[in-house]
Structure 1
């Protein structure tokens, strides 16, 4: 802020009722030359209280001040009289002449009137007041030559009253035309008289009796006693959601225009204890920066090793970080707040992304790892189409591989999509799933009995005492036109090189095959058969669900 800046601050109350800012700030009993009508400044009645309270939300009720800084004092001078037909004694009785401390919007001020000189200088009152260092002449008339304040023209300083005075830039800035304002001083020529300024000339000086009311007004001045600090919060962003281990950076700067004030930046979360962020001595202009990183862990917020709030932070609830600054003179900045939420527990995380593995001729093999944000114990379950492949206790970060066992792979229907899933659940009940889809592709079915892995009771069934003469196979299948079929059978299955005989035609005809072989090299005789079905030119699916039969 600088000299001459317009400040809207506080609201004028008369007898407890707020008053709109006058828009015609001149006498209310007559129309001045050049003015459109009589003025609209409120008139005082004996016994009424005069107050300035906190700033009203409506602009019409906001008092307008001109900022002036000269020397050690910073003043806010009303740009017009707010009250008319009020005596010096009325104002003095309420402490409004020499000053009393008030608070507006949390800032303390000394509320008073300007000094205006105890007598006029020169031959008449249009030469200004004396002593010459009075505030009216130094500031309003700008004899001090303050940058940012207007300087009156010759027309503003003479004793004529006309539209030129009314419309002048100086009068529009200070509104002195046709309105006397009380000053502090007692007239040296008559102890019953009090100084008044303005009216026909910006430099006009006169005096009225201390008890006189008619035509004289109250132009308040605020002397800033201690500037309220201000805080700017650059971090954190509003409405963050914090999970285990996440941080909440608290960063920004505080300023205090009063040089030498000890400034302390403070914060709290919700209604928890107040903690200091930073402190320093203000030089009146340079911001004091602050930065602190809070960490969310185990449902609580920590400042280093200190539990900031002292209780668990609830889930699904807005929590409030509040930051403000205080100086050692009692000034306090406006509070700056940020909302945030917390998550108590998150599910384990499975690496990779859901996706389609495509068309596959062999069982897939997918590598993955699982991490647990809260380091809770967790279990991993692998499934194909909802059927459990395996379940085991997980180890965070360890590489795992999911595949489909051969016996389950063979049972998967070709040509349709299947779901391969990985599920992880921690001991708090949080679960995550990774799903891969795949389609099994089969263009050839090869099937035979494997004596090496066959259970003994099954092997006994296919073992014969002598060479079998006939074998009837009755497949359960769907063999569409165009499929290529080869069925082979033997009666010396235990030989290293069995004598395979083509039984394709008789199987298709549902007839028994007559064995031609009558020899063996192994110790035992045994029956075996094998099927090989190729798609060929078939356009329909091929199914082989099982094989029945008999032999002798």
Structure 2
């Protein structure tokens, strides 16, 4: 389990620091996540392939408003060129959710000091309270195992948004015709993905390929502006934002 920092909270399309009091805004502006803005990065706990926010990014916000913005069960967002499903903590079994599973995988005081930075506030989850769709469970509070429930329309200061990011694995063929960044052993290259096979990636790149890539046998120039890259030299391919 590791802490990583990336992405930024956006309110009305503008980057802001985490920990916002939503009740201070007028007209219930949309909240979302986007590319990392210097000095406004979000800290995440990486667990089981997921990223869970280290703390509430926004508080005094209702489940109803989060649902209006599509932030409950899965909204695709791109952060720094990578696609994710953005959602809330979900149930795994009766009376057991991802919150419990993460705590079970950590040790003692590490749970409080590093992972569960709740500051006495609760975080909304997807789970209904005793089958009532208008009442949802929140986790957190003063103790790491605390659990409470509120109407989806309530927005007390103790209720907040702690999102989960679920990385979306895209096949290379799904990226054809789109601008990508190829991370190779001899450097990064940006261009339009033209085609791909089990052996090569073909990119349309304005201008000349960096000399480090050519000298390292990372690619072959097919014709001006078109290059084929050896997939064995490619570490990963990201969609450009």
TM-score normalised by structure 2 residue count? 0.73
How far apart, in 1, do the equivalents of 2:122 and 2:239 lie?
Answer: 37
Contact 1:177–1:201, Cα closer than 8 Å, also in 2: no
Quote the offset at 1:293 in angstroms. 7.1
State the match for 2:177 in structure 1.
none
Listed as ranges, the matches of 1:242-391 within 5 Å are 264-268=200-204, 270-271=206-207, 291=217, 303=221, 308-309=223-224, 332-333=237-238
How far apart, in 2, do the equivalents of 1:189 and 1:293 lie?
Answer: 57
Deviations 1:417-457 (A, max 9, x none): xxxxxxxxxxxxxxxxxxxxxxxxxxxxxxxxxxxxxxxxx
State the match for 1:92 in structure 2.
67
Alignment CA distance shift 1:191-1:7 (3 Å): same
Contact 1:116–1:197, Cα closer than 8 Å, also in 2: no
Contact 1:20–1:61, Cα closer than 8 Å, also in 2: yes
From the CA coordinates, give the structure whose radius of gyration is larger.
1
SS at match of 1:61: coil
Contact 1:197–1:203, Cα closer than 8 Å, also in 2: yes
More helix by share: 2
State the match for 2:35 in structure 1.
54
How far apart, in 2, do the equivalents of 1:309 and 1:79 lie?
Answer: 47
In structure 2, stretches of 5+ residues that fail to align are 172-180, 188-196
Quote the offset at 1:309 in angstroms. 1.1
Quote the offset at 1:47 in angstroms. 2.3
Task: State the number of aligned residues.
Answer: 209
How far apart, in 1, do the equivalents of 2:182 and 2:219 lie?
Answer: 21
Deviations 1:446-486 (A, max 9, x none): xxxxxxxxxxxxxxxxxxxxxxxxxxxxxxxxxxxxxxxxx
> Is 1:175 matched with 2:117?
yes
Deviations 1:510-531 (A, max 9, x none): xxxxxxxxxxxxxxxxxxxxxx
More strand by share: 2
Alignment CA distance shift 1:292-1:211 (3 Å): closer
State the match for 1:240 in structure 2.
none
> Is 1:10 matched with 2:7?
yes
Listed as ranges, the matches of 1:436-451 within 5 Å are none
In structure 1, stretches of 5+ residues that fail to align are 23-40, 118-129, 153-167, 236-260, 278-289, 295-302, 311-319, 326-330, 336-552
> Is 1:66 matched with 2:45?
yes
State the match for 1:234 in structure 2.
186
How far apart, in 2, do the equivalents of 1:79 and 1:133 lie?
Answer: 20
Greater relative contact order: 1 or 2 (C-alpha under 8 angstroms, separation 6 or more)?
Answer: 2
Deviations 1:383-428 (A, max 9, x none): xxxxxxxxxxxxxxxxxxxxxxxxxxxxxxxxxxxxxxxxxxxxxx
SS at match of 1:205: strand
Listed as ranges, the matches of 1:413-432 within 5 Å are none
Alignment CA distance shift 1:323-1:47 (3 Å): farther
How far apart, in 2, do the equivalents of 1:227 and 1:219 lie?
Answer: 25
Contact 2:219–2:228, Cα closer than 8 Å, also in 1: no
How far apart, in 2, do the equivalents of 1:293 and 1:89 lie?
Answer: 51
CA RMSD of aligned residues (A): 3.5
State the match for 2:194 in structure 1.
none
How far apart, in 1, do the equivalents of 2:219 and 2:134 lie?
Answer: 66
Deviations 1:40-97 (A, max 9, x none): x4324452111111111x2x2011111112xxxx211110100000000000111101
2:94 equivalent among 128, 131, 135: 131
> Is 1:151 matched with 2:107?
yes
Alignment CA distance shift 1:49-1:322 (3 Å): farther
1:107 equivalent among 82, 89, 103: 82
SS at match of 2:168: strand
Alignment CA distance shift 1:232-1:196 (3 Å): same
Alignment CA distance shift 1:133-1:105 (3 Å): same
Alignment CA distance shift 1:293-1:104 (3 Å): closer
Quote the offset at 1:134 in angstroms. 1.5
Alignment CA distance shift 1:110-1:269 (3 Å): closer
